[in-house]
């Protein structure tokens, strides 16, 4: 039976041949590369998603076609598991193997073995919901995905052009529909209603919130922000910028969350539009990253990144837990990566437990689940807050002994609805930040003053083989190439407040170098000198050193 069903995919598979001399790898971001080479990958991901659904007893699996903050010519695809979380890590290798089968016959043989090894019951139903961002290559790739789903007779739901976080929301809402753990109405409208209703409750009675400028990165977040604004009505006003979703080459170009984080400056398109003291934020191309910023009275740019968001949010939630009389029963914790600014780690460690994990959403999300309330934000602006099931039950069953406790309890319950707990969500996180600022009566200036970032610099070095660079200690130390870490340590010791680490990219043959020090000049010099060590170790010409500052 297995053999006959899998063999039936041959006619469709022949329409989507794998390109020669291209190796695909499924990582934290799924498959991601130039959009024009991904046709075969999307077809095979359709098959894989259907098989994953069958393995999960017919639960709905999500597929998101996006390359997030990458340039418009790129595209990608990732799978979403039934609870709205990232694909189970053990399936990443399976996805890579299936994507790289060189021929249709090899693909069929590999699938037969895969189904037999994992004991997948092909008689089970397959259900898949998918969506895409605004990239021009998206429509053709979805067509290839559809063929893969059709090959195994999957029941398909097309969520259209929408954000990555909304797709994650839909997956969980579909799979919990009609249960006591219902996550919300399984529609995009349900998403907007859930967030806006919680936001209105949380800011009720607070002073009017000043308008917020949102850089939409010329991506799908422009559509979502406009729809969300309609549901929020007069509780907050958005000023939308960079909304050119159909202009060729505009997506993420000199704008968006990644531009703000890596360039540490105002997007050129916002010059003259942002007033001194006014808050602004940037989404990325699929609206799962968020960066805040403001201009001071001297028109100097100040960035408020994921570390600043984590500090603001964690402190606020901790205060609410204490005000509700639940600080003995509910513990708040923070999860960071090595990219977190050293000043933020020190600030947070003085207040709540802090864990450091390897870069990647799956590591952060898993670690955050170990806390009653786990806050995780990467410095790049991707993050969320997780409330354990036990914690949510405690919040609902808690009997307050004063009006103040009752108010804090109500706010915590509303936060569980405002926050998209399936994945980092720029719009949800944006509303969360606005709630905290409203409660604290903070402007960007007061928020920024919580702690002073150490100057830092991120660069990337092109190498022949990124797999030659292996790390330990949550990616903070190298174990190979041999001897390189000792050279880095010797360099770092010569810089005041110096810290640097090196890690290979998960998607391309580059090595990323992060450095921080007590001054901007020293941070830049340390980053460049460590990058030089990396390039020399990789066998490059010391006279050239193609190091790109990010």
Q: Place 543 in a pLDDT band, splitting at 50, 70 and 90.
A: very low
Fold designation for 2-161: Alpha-D-Glucose-1,6-Bisphosphate; Chain A, domain 3 (3.40.120)
**Ranges 95-99, 141-145, 352-356: which has the least confidence:** 352-356
Catalytic residue among 53, 68, 196, 282: 68
pLDDT of residue 360: 82
Interval 271-327: pLDDT, tens: 999 999 999 999 999 999 999 999 999 999 999 999 999 999 999 999 999 999 999
Interval 408-423: pLDDT, tens: 999 999 999 999 999 9
Report the percent of the chain where pLDDT is more than 90: 89
Four-residue CA torsion sign, 178, 182, 185, 188: negative
> Does residue 545 have a pLDDT over 70?
no
Distance of CA 315 to the CA centre of its chain: 22
Residue ranges of the chain that CATH labels 3.30.310.50: 456-549
Interval 394-409: pLDDT, tens: 999 999 999 999 999 9
d(CA 70, CA 529): 27
Neighbours of 27 (CB within 10 A): 17
The two structure tokens encoding residue 347: 């600030």
pLDDT of residue 538: 75
**Ranges 42-51, 113-122, 397-406, 535-544: which has the least confidence:** 535-544
d(CA 433, CA 455): 24
> Does residue 541 have a pLDDT over 70?
no
pLDDT of residue 64: 98
Closest CA to 531 of 518, 505, 549, 543: 549
pLDDT of residue 418: 98
SS3 (DSSP) at 472: strand
The mean pLDDT of the chain is: 94
Give CB contacts under 8 A, 24+ apart, made by 541-547: 545/461, 546/461, 546/462, 547/459, 547/460, 547/461
SS3 (DSSP) at 246: coil
Multiple choice CATH, 189-301, 3.30.420.40, 3.40.50.1360, 3.50.50.60, 3.40.120.10: 3.40.120.10
Task: State the average pLDDT over residues 109-117.
Answer: 95
Q: Place 2 in a pLDDT band, splitting at 50, 70 and 90.
A: low
Task: State the average pLDDT over residues 444-453.
Answer: 94
pLDDT of residue 535: 87
Interval 482-503: pLDDT, tens: 999 999 999 999 999 999 999 9
pLDDT of residue 159: 98
CATH class for the domain made up of 456-549: alpha beta
Q: Is 68 a catalytic residue?
A: yes
Interval 518-539: pLDDT, tens: 999 999 999 999 999 998 887 6
d(CA 131, CA 134): 10
Q: Place 548 in a pLDDT band, splitting at 50, 70 and 90.
A: low
CA dihedral 537, 540, 542, 548 (to 10 degrees): -90
- Per the CB < 8 A criterion, the answer to whether 497 and 503 are in contact is no
Which CATH architecture is the domain 306-432 placed in? 3-Layer(aba) Sandwich (3.40)
- Per the CB < 8 A criterion, the answer to whether 348 and 354 are in contact is yes
Residue ranges of the chain that CATH labels 3.40.120.10: 2-161, 189-301, 306-432
Task: State the average pLDDT over residues 141-150.
Answer: 98
pLDDT of residue 3: 61
pLDDT of residue 423: 95
């Amino acid at each position: 039976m297995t053999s006959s069903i899998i063999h039936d995919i041959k006619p469709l598979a022949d329409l989507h041949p794998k390109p020669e001399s291209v190796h695909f790898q499924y990582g934290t971001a799924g498959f991601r590369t130039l959009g024009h080479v991904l046709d075969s990958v999307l077809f095979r991901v359709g098959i894989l998603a259907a098989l994953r659904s069958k393995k999960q007893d017919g639960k709905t699996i999500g597929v998101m076609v996006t390359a997030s903050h990458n340039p418009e010519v790129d595209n990608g695809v990732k799978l979403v598991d039934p609870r709205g979380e990232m694909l189970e890590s053990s399936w990443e290798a399976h996805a890579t193997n299936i994507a790289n089968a060189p021929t249709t016959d090899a693909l069929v043989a590999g699938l037969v073995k895969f189904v037999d090894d994992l004991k997948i019951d092909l008689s089970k139903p397959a259900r898949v919901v998918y969506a895409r961002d605004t990239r021009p290559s998206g429509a053709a790739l979805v067509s290839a995905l559809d063929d893969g789903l059709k090959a195994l007779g999957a029941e398909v739901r097309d969520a259209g052009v929408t954000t990555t976080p909304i797709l994650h929301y839909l997956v969980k809402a579909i799979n919990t529909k009609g249960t006591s753990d219902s996550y919300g109405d399984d529609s995009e409208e349900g998403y907007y209603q859930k967030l806006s209703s919680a936001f209105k409750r949380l800011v009720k009675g607070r002073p009017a919130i000043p308008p917020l400028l949102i850089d939409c990165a010329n991506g799908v977040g422009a559509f979502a922000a406009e729809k969300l604004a309609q549901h929020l009505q007069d509780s907050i006003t958005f000023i939308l910028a960079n909304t050119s979703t159909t202009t060729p080459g505009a997506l993420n170009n000199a704008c968006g969350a990644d531009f703000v984080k890596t360039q540490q400056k105002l997007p050129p398109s916002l010059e003259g539009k942002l007033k001194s003291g006014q808050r602004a934020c940037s989404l990325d191309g699929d609206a799962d990253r968020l960066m805040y910023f403001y201009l001071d009275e001297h028109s100097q740019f100040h960035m408020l990144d994921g570390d600043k968001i984590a500090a603001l949010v964690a402190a606020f939630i901790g205060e609410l837990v204490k005000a509700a009389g639940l600080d003995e029963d509910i513990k708040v914790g923070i999860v960071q990566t090595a990219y977190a600014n050293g000043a933020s780690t020190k600030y947070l460690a003085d207040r709540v437990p802090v864990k450091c994990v390897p870069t990647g959403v799956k590591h952060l999300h898993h670690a955050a689940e170990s806390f009653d309330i786990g806050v995780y934000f990467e410095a790049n602006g991707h993050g969320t807050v997780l409330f354990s099931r036990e914690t949510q039950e405690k919040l609902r069953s808690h009997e307050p002994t004063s009006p103040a406790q009752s108010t804090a309890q109500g706010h915590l319950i509303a936060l569980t609805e405002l926050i998209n707990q399936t994945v980092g969500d720029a719009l949800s996180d944006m509303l969360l930040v606005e709630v905290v600022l409203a409660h604290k009566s903070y402007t960007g200036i007061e928020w920024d003053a919580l702690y002073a970032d150490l100057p830092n610099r991120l660069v990337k070095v092109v190498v022949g083989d990124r797999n030659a660079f292996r790390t330990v200690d949550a990616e903070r130390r190298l174990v190979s190439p041999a001897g390189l870490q000792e050279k880095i340590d010797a360099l770092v010791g010569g810089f005041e407040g110096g810290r640097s680490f090196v890690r290979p990219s998960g998607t391309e043959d580059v090595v990323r170098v992060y450095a921080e020090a007590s001054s901007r000049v020293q941070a830049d010099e340390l980053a460049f000198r460590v990058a030089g060590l990396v390039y020399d170790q990789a066998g490059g010409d010391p006279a050239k050193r193609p190091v790109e500052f990010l």
